Structure 1
Amino acid sequence: MHYRELGDSGVEVSEVAFGAWVVGTDWWGDRTDEDAVELVEYALDRGITFFDTGDVYGHGRSEELIGEALGEHREEVTVGTKVGYDFYNNPQAGHGELPKELNAEYVREAVEKSLDRLDMEYVDVLFLHNANVDEVTDEVLETLYDLREEGLVDALGWALGPSIGWLAEGDRAAELDFDAVQTVYNLFEQTPGNHFIDTARELGADTSLIARVPHSSGLLNEQVTPDTELGDGDHRSFRPDAWFETGWEKLDEIRFLERDGERTMGQAAIQWLLAHDEVASVTPTFRSREDVDEWAAAPDTPALSDEEFERVADLYARNFGVGRDDGMNPEDFRTSVDGDDLRDAGILPAQSADD
């Protein structure tokens, strides 16, 4: 395992992180609390030191289990959590999005409750959870800075998702010099990550990226194949069928990344992300010890060569040679500013005077 710094915060993260939305929830398969704690401990044994959870995951249960598993290792690990959804006053309805709450008072109370559940005195990284750009007011920012000054938080981040887009939010995080932006980013979904890297470079911002969904919902780790039947409760079933159908075609075009068995496709997908200096960490979805063994070892496999990296860029520019719709169109990208961010980035065409 290798380690990188989040922005210039001094907070160190393992290049492969443990995304704890699989802990305390059933969105990625059922497991007992004991199994979840054991998987976290196993990941730590394999060199993973960055554990990323959120208060809304299992309505606080994920934080409780992470605290239980990591309590005696507190000085060895980096723990991030997220606030912004009011699950205290709203029951979970399937996979639907809960109402958000981001006023200054709520943020402070939510952080204090998270620390209680984690049984920790501070969190290394605090993320605003899917906050719209206009929800992060001066008062909210002042509260975040106060929490950092008080030692309850070391680094600040903005978690974006789950849908593709969120350009206005990621750009704002870089403008504010947040330490981290967490976003969907993978070989098949490069738009947000590439955009935020460009933004950070243009602004000279010390904002690191944390790549979510690095395996493109099971395509790049080959856990979703043409023979896979996704259950109604499986979070990946929200992808359109065309996404997986075209994805299998794209996968065949990048088999060269496996280097004749020197790395798996799942490891190559992680190495492609880590080839970007701005990417501090990658959060695959671990469901078994075998997943941990494979992906925790990814940073120790051969890094992508310049030739491989350029070949991927050329394939991406040509949609990997696939000439049909994958069901994930730019018109459907998420935007909180009526598409202005997408148009400014050239993802959507500019509006005419008649629009």
Structure 2
Amino acid sequence: MEYRRLGNTELQLSAITYGAFAIGGNMWGGNEKKDSIASIHASLDNGVTTIDTAPFYGFGLSEEMIGEALKGKDRTKVQLLTKFGLVWDGSNSGNGEYFFDAQDNGRNIPVYKYGAKANIVKELEESLRRLKTDYVDLLQLHWPDNTTPVDETMDTLNRLIQQGKIKAAGVSNYNLQQLHEAENTIGLASNQVSYSMLNRAIEKDVLPYSIERNISIIAYSPMERGLLTGKYFKDSKLKNDDHRNGYFEQFQLDKVADFLAKITPIAKGTNATLAQLVLRWTTLQKGITVVLAGARNAEQAVSNAQSMDIDITPEEMAFINKELSLIN
């Protein structure tokens, strides 16, 4: 495993970071608690020291399971990354900017983007309780909120750093203009954004700016929610309430399948799976600090961690990139 510095902070994060969206269950067709906790333990046992979650993942369930999984562990050896700014049923529901309706057990739950000061403080306290800790290493605004002044949100993050409640502050899903505006108030440690072989939009402007400003990029959906593992093309059936049924429609699936077939020999040549090859490729891209990889069981967690053991030769990298140019 490699460990990489987060922006201008002293934090060292594992290059493969445990992404805890799927274990929350909502939008992923449910989850198995025992397997989810086992996946966290397996990650820690195989060099992954960083866990990324959010209150929205399972409407608190993801954070609760992480807190349970870390019971008895040395807190100083684990970096906890969580978020704020997506609110649903409860006292803050209806505040902020309407985002979408999330589905959970047959219910449609309105979700709002809300980055006001009082909500940040409230959400953080709830996260600390669920995670069973008194601080988080990185607190991130989950999505931009156009109803709250940016300086209000960023100034609140600065105060939380001063209070010792968080070690660093970041954002998620920010474009270049939003990064500029936020940095008028705060020195951001990171920007968590979607990035994969099939989605390299940030390379146009967000990535160069982040490299220049030493803002770490935390890449999410590197495997496009399982599409790049190849399993989807092998009679994999998704549950009706799995959001990926619609998510995969944005891609030219025939071209993706053809691309995966072409790079499969590279994976086999290094005794790796397609998923491992995809993860390793992502960690090797310029400006990418850490890559989020979800796991629903211990086997997947071990596989994700071991992707860092793969060596991709310059010739293999050139071949992969050439084939990618044909579908992007």
Q: TM-score range by the shorter chain?
A: 0.7 to 0.9
User: In the alignment, which of 72, 88, 99 is matched to residue 112 of structure 2?
Assistant: 99
Given the superposition, is the C-alpha separation of residues 230 and 148 from structure 1 closer, same or farther in structure 2, using an over 3 Å criterion?
Answer: same
* Whole-angstrom distance in 2 between the partners of 1:136 and 1:259: 51
The answer to whether the 8 A contact 1:185-1:193 is kept is: no
**1:126 deviation in Å?**
0.3
3-state SS of the aligned residue for 1:307? helix
Residue correspondence of structure 1 range 196-215 to structure 2 within 5 A? 196-201=206-211, 204-215=212-223
Q: Deviations over 1:279-334 (max 9, x none)?
A: 221112212222112111011111x33333333333333327xxxxxxxxxxxxxx
**1:218 deviation in Å?**
1.8
* Whole-angstrom distance in 2 between the partners of 1:262 and 1:205: 38
Equivalence for 2:262: 253
Pair 1:186 & 2:187 matched: no
- The residue type paired with residue 55 of structure 2 is D
Equivalence for 1:229: 237
* Whole-angstrom distance in 1 between the partners of 2:102 and 2:288: 34
Pair 1:301 & 2:310 matched: yes
Given the superposition, is the C-alpha separation of residues 264 and 136 from structure 1 closer, same or farther in structure 2, using an over 3 Å criterion?
Answer: farther
3-state SS of the aligned residue for 1:188? coil
* Whole-angstrom distance in 2 between the partners of 1:14 and 1:259: 25
Given the superposition, is the C-alpha separation of residues 255 and 177 from structure 1 closer, same or farther in structure 2, using an over 3 Å criterion?
Answer: farther
Residue correspondence of structure 1 range 1-355 to structure 2 within 5 A? 1-73=1-73, 74-87=75-88, 88-89=90-91, 90=93, 93-94=102-103, 98-132=111-145, 135=148, 137-160=150-173, 166=175, 168-169=177-178, 177-193=187-203, 195-201=205-211, 204-241=212-249, 243=251, 244-258=253-267, 260-302=269-311, 304-319=312-327
**1:177 deviation in Å?**
3.8
Gaps of 5+ in 2: 95-100
- The residue type paired with residue 301 of structure 2 is V
3-state SS of the aligned residue for 1:272? helix
**1:189 deviation in Å?**
1.2
3-state SS of the aligned residue for 1:13? strand
The answer to whether the 8 A contact 2:23-2:295 is kept is: no
Length-normalised TM-score, structure 2: 0.86
Given the superposition, is the C-alpha separation of residues 213 and 230 from structure 1 closer, same or farther in structure 2, using an over 3 Å criterion?
Answer: same
**1:157 deviation in Å?**
1.5
Given the superposition, is the C-alpha separation of residues 231 and 254 from structure 1 closer, same or farther in structure 2, using an over 3 Å criterion?
Answer: same
Range 144-153 or range 235-244, more displaced: 235-244
The answer to whether the 8 A contact 1:17-1:52 is kept is: yes
Q: Deviations over 1:26-47 (max 9, x none)?
A: 4334334333222212221122
Given the superposition, is the C-alpha separation of residues 246 and 318 from structure 1 closer, same or farther in structure 2, using an over 3 Å criterion?
Answer: closer
Length-normalised TM-score, structure 1: 0.80
The answer to whether the 8 A contact 1:171-1:196 is kept is: no
Given the superposition, is the C-alpha separation of residues 245 and 285 from structure 1 closer, same or farther in structure 2, using an over 3 Å criterion?
Answer: farther
* Whole-angstrom distance in 2 between the partners of 1:309 and 1:168: 32
How many residues align structurally?
Answer: 313
Given the superposition, is the C-alpha separation of residues 223 and 172 from structure 1 closer, same or farther in structure 2, using an over 3 Å criterion?
Answer: farther
**1:172 deviation in Å?**
5.1
Equivalence for 1:329: none
Given the superposition, is the C-alpha separation of residues 246 and 239 from structure 1 closer, same or farther in structure 2, using an over 3 Å criterion?
Answer: farther
* Whole-angstrom distance in 2 between the partners of 1:26 and 1:137: 29
Q: Deviations over 1:175-209 (max 9, x none)?
A: 754111111111121112564222223xx211111
- The residue type paired with residue 271 of structure 1 is R
* Whole-angstrom distance in 2 between the partners of 1:129 and 1:31: 22
Q: Deviations over 1:78-100 (max 9, x none)?
A: 00111001223449741766012
The answer to whether the 8 A contact 2:283-2:290 is kept is: yes
3-state SS of the aligned residue for 1:58? coil
The answer to whether the 8 A contact 2:218-2:290 is kept is: yes
Q: Which structure would you say has the larger RCO, counting Cα contacts within 8 Å and 6 or more residues apart?
A: 2
**1:75 deviation in Å?**
1.5
The answer to whether the 8 A contact 1:157-1:178 is kept is: yes
CA RMSD of the aligned region, Å?
Answer: 2.6
The answer to whether the 8 A contact 2:230-2:260 is kept is: no
Percent identity, please. 27
- The residue type paired with residue 148 of structure 1 is I
Larger proportion of strand: 2
Range 231-240 or range 1-10, more displaced: 231-240
- The residue type paired with residue 23 of structure 1 is I
- The residue type paired with residue 143 of structure 2 is N
* Whole-angstrom distance in 1 between the partners of 2:166 and 2:195: 26
Range 65-74 or range 85-94, more displaced: 85-94
* Whole-angstrom distance in 2 between the partners of 1:221 and 1:215: 7
- The residue type paired with residue 230 of structure 1 is L
Range 287-296 or range 89-98, more displaced: 89-98
